[in-house]
Structure 1
């Protein structure tokens, strides 16, 4: 198994809560980004402390209530499958808070993490505030829901985005990177990909590599897998017959998304 590819663990916490993926930054040799994916049965509760991390709680599927210990947001979540291709609700919760999630109906929840310096106000990020856009052309098309873009003021470091790529298309392409702190030309952002497939027995290919090839891993990625991107380029290829969804978690020393395309392949952007 590739070092950057993390398979789901399906670890039961109790009869109603199951951990699918669970990584804080230090668990995967990162500094800024972490992720947890959990399944919660209806009426069951999951809780944790944020400690020194800020968190974005994404109601991936199903419907949940979310509390930070003081405020409560009820009926969070808009869809039963990510492949409905509609935005969903999220809640931003800062460091030194509780997170309590209660499932109104069966739910899959993603919690995105980054260490932060200061406490900030808890904030609902409703589905209708996600900016939605289509990128690319030809076989390089994808559909994007921006949950926490770099322009969003809720978080200190976290960026969160959902990306849909239809069969036969490429995504995160042409190959681009954001691993050098060289603003305004490029920002340093670590990244984590959480993947789902439709139908779920499908797979995609993802390559993570640097210019000098000191890092160069190509992975067959399946449903509920996570791919860690500490640095380098990270394109995704989607085979015929299957559609791809992934949720990106990004964070770095500054909340700025400024990427650098690999020059050898940048020409495809302007082709006619």
Structure 2
């Protein structure tokens, strides 16, 4: 069984990166960014499809060939509001520029193509 307790390796920027290999899993991966207002994060999806989850705060996000504008509405995970999310297929890139201090989670899985980037939630 894999070691499920993974502590952050920092307090700012990319603070978690759990790959299937590092966790002993077959498919899923997880990363977490803590950004301050004005800071930027960017990655390539490579052979993985990604869902960006705005855990807290707001960020302007571009990905999958388009600008999605400012995503995020809740400033705390304890607010009773679902998060804004963005699905990105494999072989694309994304950039997030924090409008406020924010936390962005990346959930990844092997991608097989054929899906377009799209915004998910919180309304549906």
2:112 matched to 1:117? yes
Alpha-carbon shift at residue 114 of structure 1 (Å): 0.2
Corresponding residue SS for 1:66: strand
When residues 24 and 119 of structure 1 are mapped into structure 2, their CA distance, relative to the original with a 3 A threshold, is farther
Runs of 4+ in 1 over 3 A off after TM superposition: none
Superposition map of 1:1-272 within 5 A: 3-10=3-10, 12=12, 18-68=13-63, 70-129=65-124
Which protein has the bigger strand share?
A: 1
Aligned length: 123
**1:15-35 deviations in whole A, cap 9, x for unaligned?**
xxx222111211211111100
**Bigger relative CO (Cα 8 Å, ≥ 6 apart):** 2
**1: CA distance, partners of 2:110 / 2:44:** 13
Structure 1 residues 121-162: Cα deviation after superposition (integer angstroms, max 9, x where no partner): 000013111xxxxxxxxxxxxxxxxxxxxxxxxxxxxxxxxx
TM-score (norm 2): 0.92
Distance 1:126 1:64 in 2: 15
Cα deviation code 1:58-97 (max 9, x no counterpart):
0000001111152111120011100012112100000000
Preserved contact between residue 96 and residue 119 of structure 1 (Cα < 8 Å) = no
Give the TM-score taking structure 1 as reference length: 0.43
Shift of 1:7: 1.2
Mapped to 2, the partners of 1:23 and 1:119 lie a distance apart of 25
Describe the SS at the equivalent of 1:32.
coil
Question: Unpaired runs of 5+ in structure 1?
Answer: 13-17, 130-272
In structure 2, the gaps of 5 or more residues are: none
